[in-house]
Structure 1
């Protein structure tokens, strides 16, 4: 099938719904010859920081000379972004070719798969057939029953910051959510984790004990940030000195340090990585929409902060770089997010908001968002689209102004498209 046919196929699968479970993808991988057996996996679960942590690790492994695939979601601009080998996205024709084989295998063996299971199978087949040494997999939702968890014990299992998310699927308490995410911990794996709250620690440690493994936790006190501006950060962690990263955000040195812990585990497992390659890999790692500088005149930054934790980090980073300076915000959000809290956190730093409606059925209207801001004492103008909001914000910006776009990953894609066109 061609690329359009492949996207139509995935859309048809999405219409069938979303189901957590491993039985069907395991059956599919069996009939396709278990391509996962050819790969060494780094498996990343958590609530916040999965994408950036996975990206740091993938970038270092590539720089060290290991052929490395990375599977992440969602994509921002193109579907191809989800499947990358050594910084190169999968070719469009290859997507259609592999998905056609997946479709045939599932239909011939009467295996009903979801869209995410098909996408996961696509990534694993692609990485295996291209001869990757490592595959870095970002969990889609949860961990225990997530499609990526069909694999045997990964070389390293990584738990990023765990918080409340997807309560309709994962459970309504932090303990239940932690239990689902801890499902990637398996006997024979090395395990590293972000520092967690006590309720989460109990679950992770219990799961680790059941699988006869140890969880090594990041000690934030060992992370020493020495430099930060809109172009990047520098920090030291344990024996890794003056590590430079391009990704901004008060949380990024911690995500990067967690990635360094995983890399140290990979080295201990027998895969050499020089300190020079490690530092260069960390320096070149970049993920779209994570406090990304898009323009210097005027300054325009896009950040995928779409939940309370993300917005809190955005605010902290802005304060660290700019102090109490007021900013022009381009803000669009989904109805099911805590946008009231996001307004309350950003209003002290707001010169004016231009509100948008991201391209999603779940989006809050720009007018409703504007009204909520005004009710909280802020100044806001409702715009019909992200493009219109950016155009207005840039036209009114003074040389000293900075424009900060945040609120939804859907909006991140629209902002990047705007700058690509302009």
Structure 2
């Protein structure tokens, strides 16, 4: 193992560098709108603000309602959107994507609000599955921005909503003006005090799998987190959840009873497949079956509530014995539902890109349970797509973690994949992101993010040493059989940005990724140089990108240039 600290250029040179974005000066159109949006604070500073306000979190919802009124809408106006409101720790975005695609297959005009974005902020607001156009984004951004400026209270110290609140307001305005038949709305963080929870009369609510995340905001146990998630339940509005651990499931049941919300437990996907062909999912990974089961129930419920035809024949409905929750109906999925599940796309989640000798595995897993699911998917994908090749096969991990995530715990879960190289970099596309407005983050410095990456490298190296020298008589891992050709320890590197990490990993062998010429010092270190030789000669290179959706988004921006258009 090589304990390598890799930075190709000193920080003082980075901070003094003049970028193309600075040289271009002020931008117009959608880029200008995005830059102005960024001044309303990014997610990291929003979290800090929420933490400071936790003494009276109800004030957050009251403030959001005030912003809504200042924007020209009342809470009752949102009832016209026929909303499906979805929360959870793992898979809520995928559940939203499945649900939206199913209902779009019925010829319905859909709105879809999600977070975070991967490449462009416009992805967060979709009409019929497509991100809104730059023109529509620009039009509605400035209309809302100026409206809020005109109605601000001179006595108030806060005249504009924060980044996520602003986008939530903007989504509501766009969906109403575009006259969507329904809107699928993903909760940002938690549920009870999330700004999307000003919705009073959704058509249905869903809770995907629960886990530990955002503990500084939601609590440090799954029961506390379940209490927050159950805050989206509304009186008389059907709600659905997948199977959860006993404690959190009991909390969800109590929350539902307190609000007179009928809560149902989703039967597994296998129950809906009985008597028919198996369901094909557009998203890979066994864990997506739980998300698909929840999406089917939400779509089925919405169609029933709106008296739509072709909702699927109910096959059975039996009481559940799990915390006395009734089981949601078992029905025969319709062709529209089947095709919707099959055609669902959700970038950056169990996504595979095959490019010549390189195969990129992209998954934004960032909690312990989601990383475990990612590892299972990655191993299965390696076995499923294994092709007979003569020559060396190399496995590379590209990782970053942000916020309050326990990076050491996540990295330990990734160890059984037996990577040949572990690469760490910040969620920065280039050393300066001034010309990438959608990726800008004003809340952290380059020093901070690079130090975090160096900590990740140190965690990995310690874990690698422990794996190489197990304690006598200690347990033996049975997760993967040893690979004699790769029995050496992992080499680790830290790069200053995503672009440089991809340049080193791809070695010019990705037919789509064509970066500018790398600096001469990029391969100057002996390990970087020797690794470059290995990668250039490898018959197959398997790269897992995980730990952060923002990292995955930066990688996608470089590997799929069409997403930036």
TM-score (norm 1): 0.89
Structure-2 residue corresponding to 1:285: 344
**Which shifted more, 28-37 or 275-284?**
28-37
Q: CA deviation at 1:286?
A: 1.0
Q: CA deviation at 1:419?
A: 1.1
Q: In the TM superposition, what are the counterparts of 1:53-202 in structure 2 within 5 Å? A: 53-107=95-149, 108=151, 110=153, 113-202=161-250
Matched, 1:248 2:284: yes
**Which shifted more, 283-292 or 13-22?**
13-22
Q: Give the number of the structure whose residues are more often strand, by fraction.
A: 1
Distance 1:131 1:66, change over 3 A: same
Taking the aligned partners of 1:5 and 1:418, their CA distance within structure 2 comes to: 22
Structure-2 residue corresponding to 1:232: none
Specify which of 298, 308, 317 is matched with residue 271 of structure 1.
Answer: 308
RMSD of equivalent CA atoms? 2.6
Q: CA deviation at 1:261?
A: 1.5
Q: CA deviation at 1:279?
A: 1.4
Taking the aligned partners of 1:352 and 1:364, their CA distance within structure 2 comes to: 18
Taking the aligned partners of 1:293 and 1:6, their CA distance within structure 2 comes to: 32
Taking the aligned partners of 2:449 and 2:309, their CA distance within structure 1 comes to: 47
Structure-2 residue corresponding to 1:417: 557
Which ranges in structure 2 are unaligned for 5 or more consecutive residues?
A: 1-27, 51-56, 154-158, 312-333, 387-392, 429-440, 465-488, 508-534
Q: CA deviation at 1:8?
A: 3.9
* Conserved? CA contact 1:28–1:105, under 8 Å: no
Deviations 1:301-335 (A, max 9, x none): 11112221221111112233435997322222336
Deviations 1:373-410 (A, max 9, x none): 22222412314232232333334173344221112222
Structure-2 residue corresponding to 1:317: 377
Q: Which has the larger radius of gyration?
A: 2
Specify which of 406, 420, 427 is matched with residue 351 of structure 1.
Answer: 420
**Which shifted more, 14-23 or 348-357?**
14-23
Which 4+ residue blocks in structure 1 deviate beyond 6 angstroms?
Answer: none
Specify which of 433, 445, 449 is matched with residue 363 of structure 1.
Answer: 449
Structure-2 residue corresponding to 1:257: 293
Specify which of 10, 28, 33 is matched with residue 73 of structure 2.
Answer: 33
Secondary structure in structure 1 of the residue aligned to 2:289: helix
Q: Which has the higher contact order (CA 8 A, sep 6+)?
A: 2
Specify which of 454, 460, 472 is matched with residue 373 of structure 1.
Answer: 460
Structure-2 residue corresponding to 1:23: 62
Distance 1:321 1:97, change over 3 A: closer
Structure-2 residue corresponding to 1:233: none
Q: In the TM superposition, what are the counterparts of 1:319-334 in structure 2 within 5 Å? A: 319-322=379-382, 327-334=395-402
TM-score (norm 2): 0.67
Which ranges in structure 1 are unaligned for 5 or more consecutive residues?
A: 225-235
* Conserved? CA contact 2:40–2:160, under 8 Å: no
Q: CA deviation at 1:87?
A: 1.8
Structure-1 residue corresponding to 2:408: 340
Taking the aligned partners of 1:156 and 1:27, their CA distance within structure 2 comes to: 25
* Conserved? CA contact 1:158–1:262, under 8 Å: yes
* Conserved? CA contact 2:371–2:410, under 8 Å: yes
Structure-2 residue corresponding to 1:300: 360
* Conserved? CA contact 2:87–2:206, under 8 Å: yes
* Conserved? CA contact 2:457–2:494, under 8 Å: no
Taking the aligned partners of 1:300 and 1:102, their CA distance within structure 2 comes to: 39
Structure-2 residue corresponding to 1:11: 38
Deviations 1:146-181 (A, max 9, x none): 111111221110011122222222233333222221
Taking the aligned partners of 1:113 and 1:336, their CA distance within structure 2 comes to: 24
Distance 1:367 1:152, change over 3 A: closer
Q: CA deviation at 1:50?
A: 0.9
